[in-house]
Structure 1
Amino acid sequence: MIAKHLKYGLMVLALGGGLSIESTAGSEPLDNCPSVLRMADTGIEGMGNLHDAFGPFAKRFETITGIELQLFSLSNRTAAGNALIYGDVDLVFAGPSEYLLFRRETGVDILFTVERPHYGSSFFVPADSEIHSLEDLRGKRVALKDVGSASGHLLPILMLRKAGLDPKRDLDIIMAGDSRAAALANGDVAAMGGGNRDLQLLRQMDPDGEYRVIAESPLLPGDPVLVRASLPHDCRTQLADRLEAHADALWEALVATDRNHEKFVQRDSALRFDRSALDYSLVEEAYRAAGIDL
């Protein structure tokens, strides 16, 4: 299957004056697929929030495929995994961590990914700090994001271990969640580990402060859209081919909402259907470094 990257710059019209109209109306339904598919997102709770984020995407999906896409609210990643196992949902917007967990339990397939060229981890310190490397963090207090977060926990732990540090013995790590930037800005910690774009959080929290990066990781693989293993293989193949053929219109619909504009467009994302080169080994290594079994 030919790789297809669609940069957000080509689709800004979706945000300015409504979605462009593409000649996908009247698409023939896919022969080997059910007439209705159900989709969830591991990061959104509540039907109202789900519709706010994916309403235009669901409508464009149906226009392209002839299949109704019903949105299905789930409370957490465990519920999403169980829903895939028992066929309560057919598609799930997930992250690299969820993919590895679900792959172990359900044998899920990847329909397509949303790649973020800045999706990695960095460690930040105040510009005037005496800390210049990860090794200098020995004995220091460090803020990370949430347990299980690929860029905010797992990968930073791997980076620390590769620097020769034992996260439990050599540092005082706090899982600060959304307060991680405030913890650094207020001087409660010596450093913060998180996503590469967390520098924006620091600038919002402390507009007059100056910060620098002392370490940066390799990039993480894209966020996958997962399809349940029990969906017929012919359906999965037809679905991927049809969506790729209209990928520009699909992307327009995906980023037309405020939530997805912020999550994807502002992070310079791209839609990718070529799954042949997908490599989640870095995430697996990060899980092992954090002592979490897959």
Structure 2
Amino acid sequence: MLKTVIAAAAFLAAGAAAAEPLKFAVTDIEGLEQLTQEFGAFEAALEKITGLEVDLYPVSSRTAAVEAMNAEQVDFVLTGPAEYVVIKALAGPVIVAGWQRPDYFAQVVALADGPVKTVQDLKGKVVTFGSVGSTSQHLGPAQALADLGLEPGADYEAKIVGRNVAVQAMINGDVAAVGMNFGHLNKIRAAFPDTAFTVVARGRDLPNDILVARADLSAETLETVRTAFVEHGADLMAAVLKGDDNQKYKGGFFLTGIQDSDYDYVRAMYKTIGIDTITDFVGN
């Protein structure tokens, strides 16, 4: 009788564990309120499509996301390319799907009527980058210059400066060029309507944002979620686009053929800025 009771208790405990909601985190959003505003509709759509219960799980930082994944407190993490390669090294997650951002590339911008006409004109000058460790504001623009033969420190002076401040400094003649992405260029053109800008270096399209799962998540759950992106991608994307900040994904797709090697270009960016061993987030 005692063995029966113990077995029944173990069965119920296992069922309760299996019924635990899946936790979904996003590395660049802090606080449950903002996370719900941006991904509440996606959470509901994913639950409806998969039949699984999903809870949004706010994390205070990229490091906190890694710690939560390693502690099995979070099951899925949506992150950017620069963050992914660090998370891969520290937590060994499994790729679920790439979240494509159309026109997601880095560039280096100068004044259209200024002295910088080509990348070679930046030699010996100051080039600024924004948001240290950002794929499209720091690593990507630095790599775009490296791809064209200019190395930070050796060929130009690299500084981290907020974008609008940097652009004003460029207008004032204090810096030669500013690294940013395509969306940022559109914003500064709106913010500085009396100034003409030109792109002197454009990098290749950057790797996608990426949804990863903790390494020990059950194969069945992983396949259920991945299948949802394959078979119901349009519905899930429509839900994602309910968030104001998620408009960066408008026109994009979920891609499930993503490989870890697709992010070797990002690993090269870290080397370009002098980081050979990727075991921590830049700027921490």
TM-score range, shorter chain: 0.7 to 0.9
Secondary structure of residue in 1 paired with 2:262: coil
Q: Which residue of 2 is the match for residue 63 of structure 1?
A: 48
Structure 1 contact 181–205 (Cα < 8 Å) conserved: no
| 1:140 equivalent in alignment to 2:125 | yes
Q: 1:122 to 1:243 in 2, by over 3 A?
A: closer
Q: Which residue of 2 is the match for residue 30 of structure 1?
A: none
- Structure 1 regions of 5+ residues with no counterpart? 1-32
| 1:114 equivalent in alignment to 2:99 | yes
Moved more, 169-178 or 44-53: 169-178
CA distance in 1, matches of 2:221, 2:177: 48
Aligned-residue sequence identity (percent) comes to 33
Q: Which residue of 1 is the match for residue 79 of structure 2?
A: 94
Structure 1 contact 112–272 (Cα < 8 Å) conserved: yes
CA distance in 1, matches of 2:148, 2:233: 41
Secondary structure of residue in 1 paired with 2:204: coil
CA distance in 2, matches of 1:193, 1:278: 25
Secondary structure of residue in 1 paired with 2:194: coil
Mark the structure with the bigger radius of gyration: 2
CA distance in 2, matches of 1:182, 1:76: 30
Alignment of 1:220-235 (within 5 A): 220-235=206-221
Q: Deviations over 1:134-176 (max 9, x none)?
A: 2211121211112211111112222333433331243232211
Q: Which residue of 1 is the match for residue 274 of structure 2?
A: 291
Q: 1:208 to 1:38 in 2, by over 3 A?
A: same
Structure 2 contact 97–229 (Cα < 8 Å) conserved: no
Structure 1 contact 185–202 (Cα < 8 Å) conserved: no
Secondary structure of residue in 2 paired with 1:208: coil
Q: Which residue of 2 is the match for residue 207 of structure 1?
A: 193
Shift of 1:276: 5.4
Q: Which residue of 1 is the match for residue 234 of structure 2?
A: 248
CA distance in 2, matches of 1:183, 1:68: 50
CA distance in 2, matches of 1:176, 1:132: 22
CA distance in 2, matches of 1:165, 1:146: 21
Q: Deviations over 1:51-84 (max 9, x none)?
A: 1111111111111111121111111111111111
| 1:260 equivalent in alignment to 2:246 | yes
TM normalised by structure 1 equals: 0.82
CA distance in 1, matches of 2:216, 2:121: 50
Q: Which residue of 2 is the match for residue 216 of structure 1?
A: 202
CA distance in 2, matches of 1:84, 1:255: 26
Structure 1 contact 221–278 (Cα < 8 Å) conserved: no
Shift of 1:221: 1.1
Moved more, 83-92 or 175-184: 175-184
Q: Which residue of 2 is the match for residue 184 of structure 1?
A: 170
Structure 2 contact 95–259 (Cα < 8 Å) conserved: no
Q: 1:182 to 1:57 in 2, by over 3 A?
A: farther
Secondary structure of residue in 2 paired with 1:225: strand
Q: Deviations over 1:68-115 (max 9, x none)?
A: 211111111111111111111111110011111111111111111111
Secondary structure of residue in 1 paired with 2:150: coil
Q: CA RMSD in A?
A: 2.0
Shift of 1:244: 2.0
Q: Which runs of structure 1 show a deviation greater than 6 angstroms over 4 or more consecutive aligned residues?
A: none
